[in-house]
Amino acid sequence: MGWLNGSRPLLLGITLCALFLTLILFFYVVYVPGDTREVSGNIVSFETRHGIRVDHWLHVRLDSGLTVSASVGAHVPVKVGRRVNLIATKMPIIGIERFRFKEFIDPPVNPNPFFQK
């Protein structure tokens, strides 16, 4: 690596940038408690991502107009258009917000058609 010979400031800068990016990635992957608030909106779509593990995501248009992705368990019966409450957690230091499904606001329409009165 001839381009690094005699350039300690460049090597130090690259090392500091790599350390900074590693810290950002660490805080994004590892859950660090931060400011938590509850937001609501309508489900606009549902997605399942396959990789090492299977992740389920809701895409929700919040009442503020912003569309976000929220993690949800596989056991939750998702239907586009339903109102949901999400928990928004803003991670300290980097300020990224993560959203998690909390509950449905509206009751399901015709949840079990076989047992109606």
The DSSP-derived string for 3-70 is GGTT-HHHHHHHHHHHHHHHHHHHHHHS----EEEEEEEEEEEEEEEESSSEEEEEEEEETTS-EEEE
Q: What is the CATH T-level fold of the domain 35-104, as seen in this structure?
A: OB fold (Dihydrolipoamide Acetyltransferase, E2P) (2.40.50)
Residue 75 DSSP symbol: T
More confident residue, 56 or 24: 56
More confident residue, 38 or 112: 38
Q: Which two tokens stand for residue 45?
A: 């779509």
Q: Which two tokens stand for residue 20?
A: 């900074």
- The predicted model scores a pTM of 0.63
More confident residue, 10 or 28: 10
pLDDT of residue 117: 47
Q: Which two tokens stand for residue 33?
A: 């408690």
pLDDT of residue 23: 80
